[in-house]
Amino acid sequence: MAAIHFFLVALSLSALSVSADVSVSIRCGFSGFYIDENSIVWMGDNNLTQNGEARFIQNNSSITHVVMPTLRVFTTRKKNCYSIKVYQAGRVRVRASFNYGNYDGKNSPPTFDLQFDGNYWATVETSPTEIISFEVTYVVKGDVISVCVAQTKPDQFPFMSALEVRSLGSSMYSHVGAEYALYTRNDPNSLDSTYHHLFIFTAEFNRYPDPARNGNGLLNLTTQAPTITVNAEDNPPQSVLENAITTKKTSQYITLTPASAKIPIPIYVTMYFSEVTELVSTQKRSFQVFKNNQSLSEPIVPPFGNVTELYASNITAYPNTSFRLVATPDSTLPPLINAMEVFGIGGPLTNGTDANDVVGLASLQSEFDVLQGWGGDPCLPAPYSWEWINCTSDATPRVTALYLGSYGLSGPLPDFSSMTALEIIDMNNNSISGPIPDFLGTLPNLKELNLADNQLTGYIPTSLSNNNRLKLVVTGNPNLCTSEQCLILPSSGSSKKRNNLPAILGATIPAFIIFWAIVGVLAILHHKRKTAAVAAIDAG
């Protein structure tokens, strides 16, 4: 069993935390903007994806949030993604929601996979009547957040109803390493889900307590503090500290079950305590926290008008794991708790596809509009790579093949020379124009290059034509010089120079011939004059 770390935190933060500087709320299958009752601005997704179909749900009785009567369903491709720009690295919380609502009239809610930044997130088993939501909290590694849905079963098409992203301070949940993500799930139909917690999204850090988790036999309390100073590291919303739960007697304890896991899972737990009443000298509220029968804390005395945080990392949750808040012998008041968060801790996050390949693929997508519909990590998670590439199985995969035959590509080839692991490039039967770029001959691992049936012009670089290890196919390009009689230029020359050479030769060679013709005529005339003069002298 992993070591347990439980710490009591009641510190003031001396500096502002670095955040990812993003706050986005997306209503899928919707165009325009919408402001909800919490003053959150929701934007439609029409400009965020080039694929999928917008649909309306039919079962309006299931709507618990007005923002989810629409969805976008994806019936093509292995995976479909939303990409959100991040302007500053940092920790974010992402929430994806799914409201089936019998939108297709089949009464058959689908199952599919959810992914983020090339990582597997969860298997989504949608409900016929309820909204299912998944949350992930992690440190963004790049400048784009991608959230994808992937089809895993025939005729079960993935969809999404809403997507939310919020920046978090770097101190929040920093007790878990930046290479790990924190996962939560809100599933009304699955009380035995592998992990759940007391907070779900709202306007302020997207969290609010779920009263249904309070349990039976507990009392609800409301604070009498006019204001509450929030200085806990994980920065709970002030609104969650305004209420608490307690027991009726000091002899009773509060039992919290963070997860009813079917298998052991690592979890991160944080609890928040704020006194609701300004106690007199004869009153005392003091209690300890236990994990099953193991003490995890010194006595806790909640502050009035402030907050104490207790967090635990590296805890493994089992089916029988529970936490108990037990009053100390000298306490005159029973224990209380304002809020609790429980997260499942996933495995190490991927670094994604090799950055050099990502740059090269971005160049192709920038040049050819037809490729811009593919998003998310190009290779990960396997086997959900883009349809027109092949990747290695390395932890940081490389792209080894481009299969873009008959993809409707039109225009010149951009520079994707950074993709040095390429072995196969197939771009036959398109409308690619211009010269064959020299950089293709410098790709060290290239074995097959098929540029047949395009509109290429000019000459074949010698770095390609002289490469005996390369299978080169360039037939079907009527304006491309491919015969042995063609002048094959060194690959180091620029395409502009190659294109100007015929004009230069065409002007230089005729001038050269005319010049020597004139010289010849003048020589003959001079010779005749000289002969005539000699004859005249002889005659005299």
| Stretch 248-275: mean pLDDT | 85
Which of the four pLDDT bands, split at 50, 70 and 90, describes residue 107?
Answer: very high
> 158-172, 188-202, 235-249 — which is least confidently predicted?
188-202
The CATH 3.80.10.10 domain(s) of the chain lie at: 355-481
Residue of higher predicted confidence among 114 and 511:
114
* Dihedral sign of CA atoms 261, 264, 270, 275 in order: positive
pTM for the model stands at 0.80
Of 16-20, 114-118, 120-124, 526-530, least confident by mean pLDDT is: 16-20
pLDDT at position 526 is 55
Mean pLDDT, all residues of the chain: 82
Fold classified for 203-348: Jelly Rolls (2.60.120)
Reported as a pLDDT band with limits 50, 70 and 90, residue 345 is very high
CA distance 112 to 147: 13
> What percent of the chain has pLDDT above 90?
61
Query: Can you give the pLDDT at residue 225?
Result: 96
The CATH label, of 3.40.50.10310, 2.60.120.430, 2.160.10.10, 3.30.390.50, for the domain at 23-170 is: 2.60.120.430
What is the amino acid identity at position 273? F
Average pLDDT estimate for 280-298 = 94
Burial class (CB in 10 A: 0-12, 13-18, 19+), 85: exposed
Distances in whole angstroms, Cα of residue 247 to Cα of each of 22, 223, 243, 270: 40, 16, 14, 20
Enumerate residues 6+ apart whose C-beta is below 8 A from 503.
none
Residues carrying CATH 2.60.120.430, the chain: 23-170
| Closest by Cα among 191, 195, 74, 82 to 137 | 195
Task: Report the Cα–Cα distance between both ends of the chain, in Å, rounded.
Answer: 131
Least confident of 24-28, 233-237, 457-461: 233-237
Quickly state the pLDDT bin for 332 (edges 50, 70, 90): very high
Higher local confidence (pLDDT), 46 or 201: 46
Closest CA to 327 of 247, 444, 431, 259: 247
Give yes or no for residue 199 having a pLDDT over 80: no
| Six-digit token string for 393 | 């199985």
| Lowest-confidence segment of 6-10, 105-109, 330-334 by average pLDDT | 6-10
pLDDT tens digits along 375-414: 999 999 999 999 999 999 999 999 999 999 999 999 999 9
pLDDT digits (tens, 9 = 90+) for 422-450: 999 999 999 999 999 999 999 999 999 99
Q: Residue 192: what pLDDT?
A: 29
pLDDT at 66: 55
Mean pLDDT of 262-274: 88
CATH class of 355-481: alpha beta
How far is CA 327 from each of CA 84, 130, 215, 257, 259, rounded to the nearest angstrom? 47, 38, 18, 18, 23
